[in-house]
C-alpha cells in the first residue's frame, strides 16, 4: 500500500492561549518546534521528541501535535506495530497502531486529546486501516489524575470511542495480564472481511494450543 497523508489544522482557544492542533506534521516542520518538559509519560522528553521526528519520516508514520507558538504540549503517534509484538504478525500494511497519546500536565482537561483524535480522523485515507491501540495501565498518570485504574480505563475508553475506536477482546498476555489493560481498535470503512479475519487471527493467536 502506498501510504498517503493529508494535512489538517484546527485552532482552539484556552483562557490564555491559542492552541494549534495539526497533522500529520512532517519531520522538517517538527524540527522547528520545541517540546514541553512535562511530556514524560513514555520516555524522557528529548528522547520522545527525537522519536516523533523519526516516526514522521516513516512512510506510514503520522504525528498529530497540539502546540502553542510552536511549543508542543500534546501529541499522538501512529505507525505500524512494533516488529517485536504480535500486532505486526504478517506485516499487514493495513494494520496501524496508535502508539501514544499524551498531553502535558498543565494543558490537560482542555479537550486537546479529544481534538487531536478528532483531527486524526479527518484524513479519509485512514479508512484503509485497522488502527489498534494497546492501553496498559503502567503508562497512565494515575498520580496526577487522582483516578484509580478502572476510572482511568473508562476515561481512555470514552476518549477513544469518540474517534471511532471500540474495545476488542484478545488473548494477548500483556492485555489479559491485568483487567484494566485494554485493546481498542478503529476499523476503517474500507476494511474488507478478509482483512478483518486476519486481524481476528492476530488477536487470538495460538487459540488451540494448550
Ligand atoms: C495508547 C496510549 O497512549 S495509553 C496512555 C494514554 N496516555 C497517558 O495516560 C499519558 C498521561 N495522560 C495524558 O497525557 C492525558 O491525561 C490524556 C492523553 C489521557 C488525556 O488528555 P486530555 O487532553 O486531558 O483529555 P481531554 O481533555 O480531551 O479529556 C478527555 C476526557 O477525559 C476526561 N478527563 C480528563 N482528565 C480527567 C481527570 N483527571 N478526571 C476525570 N476525567 C478526566 C475529560 O473530562 C474528558 O471526558 P469527556 O470526553 O467525557 O468530557
Q: 3-state DSSP call for residue 18?
A: strand
Q: Please say if the pLDDT value at position 104 is more than 90.
A: yes
Percentage of residues in the chain having pLDDT higher than 70: 98
Residue 162 CA, closest ligand 1 atom number: 49
Instruction: Indicate which atom in ligand 1 lies nearest the CA of residue 144.
Output: 39
CATH code for residues 8-203: 3.40.630.30
**Which sequence spans correspond to the domains of the chain?**
8-203
Instruction: Give nearest CA residue, ligand 1 atom 34.
Output: 109
Best of 52, 103, 105 for a ligand 1 pocket test (most atoms within 8 Å of beta carbon) = 103
Check if 159 has its Cβ closer than 6 Å to any atom of ligand 1.
yes
Q: Which of 108, 110, 161, 167 to mutate to test ligand 1, by most ligand atoms within 8 A of the CB atom?
A: 108
Average pLDDT over residues 189-195: 98
Best CA proximity match to 73, nearest among 49, 107, 43, 47: 107
The whole-number pLDDT of residue 209 equals: 54
Q: Name the closest-CA residue to atom 11, ligand 1.
A: 141
How much is the pTM?
Answer: 0.96
Query: Could you identify the atom of ligand 1 that is nearest to the CA of residue 134?
Result: 1
* Complex ipTM value: 0.94
Cα–Cα distance, 149 to 138 (Å, whole number): 9
Q: Pocket of ligand 1, candidates 87, 99, 155: which has the most ligand atoms within 8 Å of its Cβ, to mutate? A: 155
Neighbours of 14 (CB within 10 A): 12
Ligand 1 pocket check for 104: Cβ under 6 Å: no
Average pLDDT over residues 43-70: 98
- Does 110 contact ligand 1 (Cβ within 6 A)? yes
Q: Are strands 95-103 and 130-135 parallel, antiparallel or unpaired?
A: parallel
pLDDT at residue 208 tops 90: no
Instruction: Determine the Cα–Cα distance for residues 145 and 69; give it in Å rounded to an integer.
Output: 26
Amino acid at each position: 500500500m502506498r501510504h498517503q497523508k493529508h494535512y489538517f489544522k484546527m485552532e482552539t482557544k484556552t483562557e490564555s492561549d491559542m492552541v494549534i492542533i495539526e497533522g500529520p506534521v512532517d519531520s522538517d516542520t517538527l524540527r522547528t518546534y520545541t517540546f514541553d518538559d512535562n511530556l514524560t509519560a513514555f520516555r524522557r522528553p528529548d528522547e520522545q521528541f527525537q522519536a516523533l521526528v523519526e516516526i514522521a519520516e516513516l512512510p506510514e508514520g503520522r504525528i498529530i501535535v497540539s502546540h502553542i507558538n510552536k511549543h508542543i504540549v500534546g501529541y499522538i503517534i501512529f505507525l505500524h506495530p512494533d516488529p517485536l509484538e504480535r500486532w505486526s504478525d504478517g506485516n499487514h500494511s493495513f494494520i496501524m497502531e496508535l502508539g501514544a497519546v499524551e498531553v502535558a500536565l498543565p494543558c490537560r482537561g482542555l479537550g486537546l486529546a479529544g481534538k487531536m483524535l478528532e483531527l486524526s480522523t479527518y484524513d479519509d485515507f485512514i479508512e484503509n486501516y485497522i488502527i489498534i491501540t494497546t492501553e496498559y495501565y503502567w503508562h497512565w498518570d494515575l498520580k496526577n489524575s487522582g483516578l484509580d485504574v478502572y476510572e482511568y480505563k473508562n476515561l481512555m475508553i470514552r476518549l477513544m470511542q469518540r474517534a471511532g475506536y471500540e474495545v476488542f477482546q484478545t488473548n494477548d498476555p500483556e492485555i489479559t495480564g491485568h483487567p484494566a489493560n485494554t485493546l481498542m481498535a478503529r476499523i476503517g470503512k474500507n476494511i474488507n472481511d478478509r482483512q478483518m479475519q486476519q486481524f481476528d487471527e492476530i488477536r487470538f493467536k495460538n487459540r488451540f494450543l494448550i
